[in-house]
Structure 1
Amino acid sequence: MAESITHINPKMFIWAREVSGTTEIEAIDKFGKEKLYGWENGTVFPTYAELKVIGKYYRKPIAVFFFPEPPNMKDIPASCRTFPIEERGVFDRSLTKMVDWARSMQINLFELNGGVNNVTRKITDITFDTSDLSSVAKQLRTLMNIDISKQKSFRTRDEAFEQWRHCFFELGVYVFKNSFSGNDVSGFCIYDKEFPVICINNGLAHSRQIFTLFHEMYHLICATSGVDLLDDDTLISQVDRFDISVELACNKFAGTFLVPDDDFAKVSRGKAFNDTAIQRWADLYSVSRDVILYKLYEKDRITFDTLIEKRREYTEDYFRKFQVDESGKKKGGGNYYSTQAAYKGRQYLELAYRRYYEKKISLPQLSQYLNMKVHNVKELASQKGWGAV
């Protein structure tokens, strides 16, 4: 019979469960009530084999369970101080897993850059007058050196996203993507003075991804971490109970930046709005029809009821059109290497490979930084034309 490991502080089991975003019910379903309560109360101890299972499920290394006390880690949900506390329940197990992944990428950035973000201008070092969103939008557009005419020249929303992504990089912000388990969260950001990061839900339409980029950018400008919910009605319904001014300001800022009031006034002046016009304007600015709807509502050109009605009609605009087979599973997973490039971004990939070619990291380390097998690391370099690995 395997021997139980008795020299573990029971608090470590509680800590690991809570920081992983796992509810007590989920843990009971996985381990059983008797074992879970025994481990967390210190009346029962796991075997080494059980500890490996616990560590894998909570996404924590086995060594951490032998700490005398739980480590002091930054609480991302708590740092989203503009988020109503009741709504912080959105940080479930799946989203917490995404946050853990983004944190690991942030740590990678520290290590690969020697702890220093060497961009010429960091967004976290720049002062903005947040009392005037239009002023912030103009200042940011100047910093990015992309005027409205250049924005309108983007041929596709995919191209627009990558252009904005590179602009963010030049301001010290790395943008990552991942496949979230649900579509209720569009993305989030983790504020850090040196290496702020944004993570985008790749399961949504590029138009929504672009909107989320600028929603999260405003969080970083305000020096906060944040989450962008796909359905903002939840937050709007709490406006009388909570101070959600920053969350609403993030949405308004995204719309203000992407569709400047003065330019939209010129484009839409004297023109009747209908579905065709809304789509044309959305294509012009590389945004969703929803953003145009809000702009029309802000300018009192449509009623609130019309806004809500049209939003329901346009819901499908947020989601990619995936082919689904009879079992309900998505067909095809796309090209593995294209997916890795989209998720991690050209800027991060080039950084990691550059450190390898400079002989500052080994091939196994490069594999770890990219979270890819060695043979895939070699193949990706070959496909990108970066030379032998």
Structure 2
Amino acid sequence: MPNYIDVNPSILEWAFERATRSGKNPDSLFRKYHHFEDWLTGKRKPTWSQLEGFSQDTYTPFGFFYLDSPPDDELPIADFRTMDSAKITPSVNLIETVQVAQERQEWFHSYLLREGAEPLPFIGYAEETTPIRDVARYIDNLLDLPPISRRPHKADVFIRLLIQKLEMNGILVNANSIVDNSTKRLLDPEEFRGFSLSDNVAPLIFVNTADAHNAQIFTLMHELAHLLRGESGVSDSSSNFSPSREEERWANSVAAEVLVPANDIELLVTGDISIEKAKELARRYCISSTVVIHRAHDLHLITDSNHLELQKMIHSIQRVDRDNKREQSGHPTWYDIEFRRVGRTFASAVISDTYSGNTLFQDAYSLLGVKQSSTFDKMAEKLGMAI
């Protein structure tokens, strides 16, 4: 005899809505659970097995169905996308992505302390009043960035360089377009482009690789700026260069100065520019045309009317930039993608600690998001750590 479960209809409705908000097709859920409307009205009750399936399909922990009312969907870190008085309900995809990153950061923090790591001096180095150009120079020196004329002009090459520089300085970088390793759960760049997890031993930057490559470059520098202020939070995903939060405006300004130095663009822009000129400059700096437009306007190099005219083309430019993401140098292997997803530094640490006997293999598989020992061993081989 089926085991029927009493569930508050508001919980079922909440689970359905949060799943569709995270990209789940509502029609497919209705087709699979064709008695769902009856569950809501109380005409029918779900069986245990039906509720288990519904739990998995809506990304809802099974225990939530025993609650009296729906819990609040809240991010475990600050949300820099809105003012404190406003609120954006985060998708379950975003929430879980932050949680996975926090789990990795917590493990890495403990690992580094066991290894005798010292606090990183740049975490919390800056504050709101620190001059933007001073912070940009600090980042240039920290990452040992080449001058503009010698920086890579292919976005994916520049991204790899920046990630390498960040990890050399002790910053974990997770770059992913899905929830952990779930290929059916895509991250939406319109919801968020990245976030920072500040820690004086194991800071972490997450960048949403569903975004255009040029946008990812800006996100990496934007999140680094947050870390320099010791801030953890999800960043604004809009193309608005003057967001409502002071933290976001400051981080945007720092990233812009690092990537498009004022003393460089001022030599190239002496008046209103065309969209073709904006694209030319975007190629020079390896960032989006949108950033170039806003940067030139913020430095009073172009007029308000020119800025507004160019802004009208921003959406089409962004679509082109998003398409350019596919133009990569070569085709990355699964392992290349995996190492970007968790970070080479993190993967090396987990594998080393596991082979040393300090971390259980099952825990290591979970941290790296792999299921088979053969995949784990192959990752070790790729990193030159095979035993």
TM-score scaled by length of structure 2: 0.74
In the alignment, is residue 197 of structure 1 matched against residue 199 of structure 2?
no
* RMSD between aligned residues: 4.2
* Identity level (%): 17
Corresponding position: 1:100 with 2:96: yes
Which residue of 1 is the match for residue 380 of structure 2?
381
Give the aligned partner of residue 363 of structure 1.
361
Give the distance between the partners of 2:107 and 2:295, measured in 1 at CA: 43
Q: Which residue does 2:180 correspond to in 1?
A: none
Q: Is the 8 A contact 1:76 1:190 kept in 2?
A: no
Whether 1:339 and 2:340 are equivalent positions in the alignment is no
Q: 1:67 to 1:382 in 2, by over 3 A?
A: farther
How far 1:229 moved relative to its partner? 1.6
Counterpart CA distance in 2 for 1:283 and 1:207 is: 9
Q: What do residues 348-377 of structure 1 show as CA deviations (whole Å, max 9, x unaligned)?
A: 222221222222223333222111221322
Question: SS where residue 314 of structure 1 aligns?
Answer: helix
**CA–CA distance in structure 2, aligned partners of residues 319 and 140 of structure 1:** 27
Shift of 1:298: 2.4
1:47 is aligned to 47
Give 1:317 shift.
Answer: 3.9
CA drift at 1:141: 3.0
- Of 78, 88, 110, which aligns to 2:106? 110
Cα separation, partners in 2 of 1:183 and 1:15, compared to 1, 3 Å = closer
Structure 2: distance between partners of 1:14 and 1:348: 39
Report the AA paired with residue 34 of structure 1: D
Structure 2 equivalent of residue 314 of structure 1: 317
Aligned to 1:268: 268
Output the CA distance in 2 between the equivalents of 1:275 and 1:260: 20
> TM-score w.r.t. structure 1 length?
0.73
Alpha-carbon distance between aligned partners in 2 of 1:11 and 1:272, rounded to the nearest angstrom: 56
Query: When the two structures are aligned, how many residues end up with a matched partner?
Result: 361
Does structure 1 retain, via aligned residues, the 8 Å contact 2:55–2:61? yes
| Contact persistence 1:112–1:355 (CA under 8 A) | no
Shift of 1:107: 0.8
Give the partner amino acid of 1:300: H
SS at match of 1:83: coil
Once residues 101 and 41 of structure 2 are traced to their aligned partners in structure 1, the CA distance between those partners, rounded to angstroms, is 33
Question: Per-residue deviation at 1:114?
Answer: 1.9
Deviations for 1:53-95, whole angstroms, at most 9, x for unmatched residues?
Answer: 2331343444565689999x99318831551479754633xxx
The equivalent residue for 1:327 is none
Which structure 2 segments of 5+ residues have no match?
Answer: 178-185
User: The residue matched to 1:319 in structure 2 has which SS?
Assistant: helix
| Structure 1 stretches lacking a partner, 5+ long | 324-332
Residues 222-231 or 355-364, more deviating: 222-231
| Alignment partners' CA distance in 2, 1:110 and 1:227 | 21
User: What's the counterpart of residue 144 of structure 2?
Assistant: 146
CA distance in 1, matches of 2:353, 2:65: 33
- C-alpha distance in structure 2 between counterparts of 1:250 and 1:127, whole Å: 11
| C-alpha contact 1:120 1:170 (8 A) present in aligned 2 | no
1:386 alignment partner, SS class: coil
The counterpart of 2:236, out of the listed 225, 228, 231, is 228
Preserved contact between residue 189 and residue 196 of structure 1 (Cα < 8 Å): no
* Contact 1:185 1:227 survives alignment (8 Å): no
Please name the residue that 2:255 is paired with.
Answer: 254
- Shift of residue 225 of structure 1? 1.0
